[in-house]
Amino acid sequence: EIVLTQSPGTLSLSPGERATLSCKASQSIGSRYLAWYQQKRGQPPRLLIYGASSRATGIPDRFSGSGSVTEFTLSISRLEPEDSAVYYCQHYYGSPPYTFGQGTKLEIK
Amino acid sequence: EVQLVESGGVVVQPGGSLRLSCAASGFTFDDYNMHWVRQAPGQGLEWVSGITWDGSSADYADSVKGRFTISRDNSEDSVYLQMSSLRTEDTAFYYCAKARRVGATFDYWGQGTLVTVSS
């Protein structure tokens, strides 16, 4: 089973700043089999990024994904208070299980 | 508008059984693979199971293999999760999720249904 480790656990930033979230895989997952989700309190997750760097429908260009092999990054520029949420990475490389990282909590103060 | 509506979550005793349902609308249901993802209260996400568009193939997390069965009825635009031999650690919100055409990424999610396993 591929293990995804996200860092940091919690990130506290101010509006207008840039957030950088990391997701590291325990083995290679290629260049495209990584997705990012945003989950706000009391809501289901929302797909942000698939294929490591492609934005899902309706996602603003402030959100961008990059990386390959075992190291991936979600960047959020010009932070807004509504970006406060927990962010999860998920791999879909090869056969199941399609594991998620443990999440990074982003606080906008 | 794509909608996924889960139902069937209740309080059940350890060792018990339960069937969750997910009714889909707003898209051509039998074109897409469907999945269940769960989240214990205050915890992270765990992929549980997935089924192909035609129901011909299914996969499971090791934690539920042999106890849970996923199925679908394309004539009813619904997907199901039959859960048996339930354990306290199965307590979670269970989300139904639609996969994109390519790859097991989930572009639409239901609001979830809560399963509580407790004596």
Instruction: Give the model confidence (pLDDT) of A66-109 as tens digits.
Output: 998 999 999 999 999 999 999 999 999 999 999 999 999 999 99
Q: How far is A87 from chain B (nearest CA, A)?
A: 10
Query: A9 — contact with chain B (CB < 8 Å)?
Result: no
Q: How far is CA B114 from CA B35, B38, B41, B61, in A?
A: 16, 9, 9, 19
* Confidence grade of residue A48 (pLDDT, cut at 50, 70, 90): very high
CB contact under 8 A, A92 and B111: no
Write down the pLDDT at residue B100.
95
**Interface membership of A58 toward B (CB under 8 Å):** no
Taking all residues of chain A, what is their mean pLDDT, rounded to a whole number? 96
- Indicate if the pLDDT at residue B30 is higher than 90: yes
DSSP state, residue A56: P
**Conformational region of residue B74, where left means phi above 0, alpha means psi within -120 to 50, and beta covers everything else:** alpha
Cα–Cα dist A77/B23, whole Å: 37
Decide if A90 and B111 are in contact by the 8 Å CB cutoff.
no
Tell me whether B64 touches chain A (CB under 8 Å).
no
* Position B42 confidence tier, pLDDT thresholds 50, 70, 90: very high
For the cut 90, the answer to whether the pLDDT of residue B103 exceeds it is: no
Length of chain B: 119
Six-digit token string for B31: 């074109």
The answer to whether A51 contacts chain B (CB < 8 Å) is: yes
Residue A38 has pLDDT above 90, yes or no: yes
Q: Are the Cβ atoms of A44 and B111 closer than 8 angstroms?
A: yes
* B61 contacts A33? CB cut-off 8 A: no
- Residue A31 has what pLDDT? 87
Residue B40 banded pLDDT, cuts 50, 70, 90: very high
Beta-carbon count within 10 A of A8 CB: 12
Residue to test with chain B: of A1, A33, A92, A99, most B Cβ within 10 A = A92
| Shortest CA distance from B38: residue in chain A | A44
Residue B102 predicted with pLDDT over 90: no
With residue A67 as reference, give the H or E element that holds it. strand A63-68
In three-state secondary structure terms, B55 is coil
B104/chain A closest Cα distance in angstroms: 6
pLDDT at residue B77, rounded to an integer = 98
Q: What is the pLDDT of residue B76?
A: 98
Question: Both ends of chain A: CA-CA distance in Å?
Answer: 37
* pLDDT on residue B61: 97
Sheet holding B68-73, edge to edge: B3-7, B18-25, B78-83, B68-73
Gap from A35 CA to chain B (nearest CA, Å): 7
Q: Which residue of chain A comes nearest to B59, CA vs CA? A: A96
Q: Give B116→chain A minimum CA distance, Å.
A: 17
Q: Does A97 touch chain B (CB under 8 A)?
A: yes
Residues 6+ apart with CB under 8 A from B50: A96, A98, B33, B34, B35, B36, B58, B59, B70, B99, B104
CA distance linking residue B40 with residue B46, whole number of Å: 9
